[in-house]
Amino acid sequence: MKYKQSVYKTFALISQLGISILVPILLCTFFGTWLEKKVSFPVFIPLVIVGVLAGLRNAWVLARHANEDPEDKNKN
């Protein structure tokens, strides 16, 4: 990432990282509790683990794309 980026872009990236981690975890948590009530089968913990893994993957992809230099793409 270049050092000349504005504070707003950095704040937006940090916010987006947090949201991209929290949303899959919360969705899987709510879906797991709802599904446990419907089917009476313990699926909460596996779904929370899937949510954490999905959130970490989202953060990894976002950080990797944020770290790319757009000038390198134009050279190829």
Domain that holds residue 40: 24-66
pTM of the model: 0.76
Whole-number pLDDT of residue 75: 66
Q: Which two tokens stand for residue 11?
A: 């704040």
Whole-number pLDDT of residue 12: 86
In a domain, 15, yes or no: no
Number of domains in the chain: 1
CA neighbor of 19 nearest in space, from 48, 59, 49, 53 = 59
In a domain, 75, yes or no: no
In a domain, 8, yes or no: no
Q: Which residues of the chain have pLDDT under 50?
A: none
Dist. CA 42–CA 52, nearest whole Å: 18
Whole-number pLDDT of residue 49: 96
Whole-number pLDDT of residue 58: 95
CA neighbor of 59 nearest in space, from 22, 29, 21 = 21
